[in-house]
A and B are shown apart, each in its own frame.
Chain A
Amino acid sequence: MNIETIIESLVALFINRPFIEMLIKVLIFPGLMFPLLFVVFAVWFERKLLAKVHLRIGPLHVGPGPLGGIFQLIADALKLLQKEIIVPYNAHKILYNILPLAMPMISLAAMAFIPVAPFPSVGPVDYLVVFYTPYNILVVLALFAIHPFLVIGVGWASGSKYTTMGALRAAYQLLAYEVPVMLSAACVVMVTGSFDLIKIVESQANIWYILLLPIAFLVFFVSMMAELGRRPFDIPHAEQEIVYGWATEFTGVHYVCVMFAEYVNLCVASCLVTLLFLGGWLGPVLPPAAWFLIKFGIVVVFFLMGRGVYPRLRIDQLLNAGWRILIPLALIQIFIILVLAKFAPWILPVTFVGG
């Protein structure tokens, strides 16, 4: 076997369309690069946006002109990576070191199941998704639901009073938002008749679900905010009450991982809202990926604005809101869908078997 055949076989193996497409999917658009860039951009944008709300100027340096401060996060991350990893005396050493590293992995794993746009191609329609499964919404929500358990583990493993309190609060908060998330996602699934995000988006060709199912949208958005722990629901962190909640003890690499996971979660949640209710990549003129990014950006702004305009709720108030308002609202939405299916089925995109 001479060198040329090896090169030829390598070329045949790697320089072909499926492989390059896979590389693009895994490394660039919905894959690794997109969440990474999103985190850098979202943190910078959050700082700038909040500064505008606060009547401040916000970050000016470390970046060119109006993008001042954009490289600050990279600088911060590099600084934090150099720091000593301090493991508290009371901590469970193994869990304390592993769990924070697991957090971004699980968040990124959820990103792999999200289709963001059709791949621009001439042949059969392909989608920009790292791993396609027809049950991807279930997988994403399941991966989301793992996060609070990691938080509880981390809070316990840190062996400090404040982290324990933060973990307990995260556990309580889980009770408040998990059911509404599932119920409101179930509304969309019922109307579409499929667990496939691609089908869900394509069934919105006539009418977006934000118009068809406005109550489900509200419930989903609010409970996603609670799931992400954004203000007014940042109760497990609650800087003014329990220092930094479950993440109090983290330094250096651990802190970077925890923060990174939080922002990747924000990315996943915004993707979900866009796909489920805002018609995903559907839209005229512009390419589908651009439509997706525009809608995605708007959703992110709404998620970030919570910090500017709301104080934090107390845990009992959140539980009240979850059980007394969000769950009944979601149930009402399901009831409305059933009534529509019975009396006005032409509104819904699919016909119910029993309807």
Chain B
Amino acid sequence: MSIMRVRWGPQHPVSGQWAFWLDVDGDIVVNMEPDIGYTHRGIEKVAENRTYIQNVPVVERTSVFDAGNIVFGYVQAVEELMGIEIPERAKYIRTIVGEMSRIVSHLYGLGLLAIAVGFETMLMWFINDRELFLDLFEMLTGARITYSFFIPGGVLHDLPQGFYDEAMRRLDYFERRLKDYWKMFFLNRTFITRTRGVGVLKREDAIRLGVVGPNLRASGVEADVRKDEPYAAYDQIDFIIPTEKEGDAYARGGVRFHELEQSVSIIRQALKKIPDGKIRVKVPITPTPPKGEAYSRVETARGEIGYYIISDGSNRPYRVKISAPSFRNLLAMPFLSRNVPMADIPTIYLSLDLIPLDVDR
């Protein structure tokens, strides 16, 4: 049978705002090429033309699904350039927001993994419970998705009254739900058959291709910026890095699931240990960091994000390079999509948790 070239996206139920060129032989995909750029906004160039504070909401648009952690990296790089140390309380609030953002993003990612194998119920359950944390974000920051809550020097607001009780109540409920997820989703025989052994990324390949985040940890590499290079309050909190050995789609989903449990525990500890004090240090409204450069790394839900910021001493950055996690994981997609059945393409794609926004920037 001759090879058929199929364009998979951008007008496709699960492709997102990009396309894959699939060379299909019968039902087997022999080669795959991503066609990206549909959501390219040139954020790196835009950031060169705005002041450091104006850039906060701009870089947040890199990936709004994980808005907390994405901005985290940017403000840390700016703080490093300016040489300021933020108060302890701000560090804890940042940790809480970052972990909530991770939960929200992982719920979205797991929901998409569920829909990749045609499991509508779990998509709805995950998206439903995402609301728990979106409401908490609204309570804390005033916005649900794009809150631009971190600024160089600290955070915008203190924890509101009653936040502790509300958060604890929701975390209790969420922990009960996590048990349901495990039974309904990860112990579902059909789901296991569909994902075990699909898209196996070996340890060496994962490192060679520069894969990051849960995808790397699912291949057995214990690499997490929160442990390797602790930022914010992560050095004062007990947590483990879940890893799996298999490196297949099920392992990647499993790592995300266990990270949800760890995030819940981190939020609890942070809420209990949070010290009193100021929530930000004074930073001028148009900061002018001295000449220099900084590379800041933060573990977002999809993996490590790197911000390389060069300052030329003016109030605008000379260069902002965003090394986005999905862009780094993208290379694994064509690597894994050789000689696999067509039906596994969405499973591989969504188990890598790639999102076009993040890839294109």
Contacts and interface: CB of A to CB of B under 8 A. Distances in A.
Contacts, number: 81
Interface string B301-339: 000000000000000000000000000000000000000
Contacts of A240: 13-14, 115-118, 346
A161 B345 CA distance: 16
Nearest to B193: A317
Contact of B191 (A162, A241, A311): A311
Which of B14, B24, B120 counts the most A-chain CB atoms under 10 A from its CB? Answer: B120
Given A241-B343, A241-B346, A317-B193, A312 B117 contact: yes
B46 interface: no
A310 B114 CA distance: 10
A93 interface: no
Contact of B118 (A161, A162, A231): A231
Interface residues of A, number: 31
Interface stretch (B31-39, B121-129, B235-243): B121-129
B191 to A, nearest CB: 5
B342 interface: yes
Contacts of A55: 124-125, 128
Contact of A315 (B27, B115, B116): B27
Contact of A311 (B12, B124, B188): B188
A56 B124 contact: yes
B27 A168 contact: yes
B4 A161 contact: yes
A314 B341 contact: yes
Nearest to A56: B124
Interface in B22-56: 24, 26-27
Contacts of B121: 50, 53-54, 308-309
Contacts of B27: 165, 168-169, 315
Interface in A264-309: 307-309
Contact of B114 (A231, A241, A308, A311): A311
A315 B26 CA distance: 12
A328 B116 CA distance: 31
B119 interface: yes
Contacts of A241: 342-343, 345-346
B271 to A, nearest CB: 27
A325 B128 CA distance: 37
Given A240-B14, A241-B346, A316-B341, A54 B117 contact: no
Interface residues of B, number: 30
A155 interface: no
A239 B343 contact: no
Given A161-B6, A312-B118, A314-B344, A243 B124 contact: no
Contacts of A315: 27, 341, 343
A164 to B, nearest CB: 8
Contacts of A337: none
Contacts of A242: 342
Nearest to B14: A240
Interface in B87-107: none
A281 to B, nearest CB: 34
B343 A238 contact: yes
A309 B124 CA distance: 12
B120 A307 contact: yes
B118 A165 contact: no
Nearest to B122: A311
B97 to A, nearest CB: 27
Nearest to B341: A314
A227 interface: no
**Overall SS of chain A's interface:** helix
Given A55-B125, A232-B190, A243-B13, A314 B343 contact: yes
A141 B14 CA distance: 36
Contacts of B144: none
A234 interface: yes
A77 interface: no
B194 interface: yes
Contacts of B117: 240, 311-312
B182 to A, nearest CB: 15
Interface string B1-26: 00010100000111000000000101
Contacts of A308: 120-121
B229 to A, nearest CB: 37
A313 interface: yes
A53 B346 CA distance: 24
Contacts of B341: 314-316
Interface string B186-217: 00101101100000000000000000000000
Contacts of B190: 232, 310-313
A54 B124 contact: yes
Contacts of B188: 310-311
A354 B208 CA distance: 71
Contacts of A311: 114, 117-119, 188, 190-191, 194
A313 B194 contact: yes
A312 B116 CA distance: 9
A241 B128 CA distance: 24
Contacts of B194: 311-314, 317
A242 B121 CA distance: 20
A240 B112 CA distance: 10
B118 A234 contact: yes
Interface in A45-97: 50, 53-56
Nearest to B124: A54
Counting chain B CB atoms within 10 Å of each CB, which of A162, A240, A310 scores highest?
A: A240
A169 B12 CA distance: 19
Nearest to B185: A311
Nearest to B7: A161
B352 to A, nearest CB: 15
Ranked 3 nearest A-B pairs via Cβ: A312-B118, A54-B124, A311-B117
26 contacts: A50-B120, A50-B121, A54-B120, A54-B125, A56-B128, A161-B6, A168-B26, A234-B118, A239-B14, A240-B13, A240-B117, A240-B346, A241-B342, A241-B346, A243-B12, A307-B120, A308-B120, A310-B119, A310-B188, A311-B190, A311-B194, A312-B117, A313-B193, A313-B194, A314-B193, A316-B341
Given A234-B118, A316-B341, 9 more contacts: A53-B121, A54-B124, A165-B6, A239-B13, A242-B342, A311-B117, A311-B118, A312-B118, A317-B194
